[in-house]
Amino acid sequence: MTYIRSLIASLLMAILAAPLLAQGATVAFGTIEQDTSLPVEVTADNLSVDQATGTAVFTGNVLIGQGAMRLTAERVEVVYRAEAEGIAKLEATGGVTLVSGDDAAEADRADYDIDAGTLVMTGNVLLTQGGSALSSEQMTIQLEDGTAQMSGRVKTILQTGSGN
C-alpha cells in the first residue's frame, strides 16, 4: 500500500509541476564559462560589406568560433560598433546551431549581443544535453556564467528512473 501511495504522490507532483515547466525553465548551457572578450573567427562562402550601415553579411556555410563556442548558420549579419572598434552584435538566421562543450542548441534565429554577453535563440529552439532534450520558442543564454532561460511552451520528457 505504501508503494502505491508513493507512486500516486510522485505522479501528482509530476502533473502539478508540468504547468510550471511550461512557463519557463532555467538550465545550464555549456561546460565552461564563455569569455566574450575573445576574438570572433568567421568562415563563410560569401561576404558582403556595407560601409554606410556598418554591417557585414556572411552567407553560405557560415561558421563562427569564439573560444570553445561554435555557431553555424546559413546567414550571419555582423553589426559593428559606431566607433568602428569591434563587433557589437551578430544576427544569425537559417538553420542555426550552437555548440558549447557537450551541449547543442538549434533554432531558426540567434542574436548575439557581445557587450551584454547574451545570446538569444528564437523559433523552434531545441536544446540537447546528453540524453536529455528540451524545446521552446525562445532561449536566452548568459554566456559569462553558462546559464540559459527557456520560455514559450517549454517541453521536455522527464525520466523517472524506475523500470517497473
**Residue 128: pLDDT above 60?**
yes
Q: Give me the residue spans of the domains in the chain.
A: 25-156
Contact predicate 122/136, CB 8 Å: no
Residue-averaged pLDDT of the chain: 78
Contact (CB, 8 A) for 121 and 139: yes
Alpha carbon distance 37, 51 (integer Å): 24
Q: State yes or no: pLDDT of 9 exceeds 50.
A: no
Q: What are the pLDDT digits (tens) for 30-41?
A: 544 566 677 888
Q: Does the structure show a pLDDT above 70 at 53? A: yes
Residue-wise pLDDT tens digits, 66-108: 888 899 999 999 988 877 678 889 999 999 999 988 889 999 9
Q: Which carries the bigger pLDDT value, residue 23 or residue 30?
A: 30
Look up residue 49 and give its three cell numbers: 560589406
Residue with cell 504522490: 9
**What is the second-level CATH architecture of the domain 25-156?**
Sandwich (2.60)
- What local confidence, expressed as pLDDT, does residue 51 receive? 82
Residue whose C-alpha is closest to residue 14's, from 158, 120, 123, 161 = 158
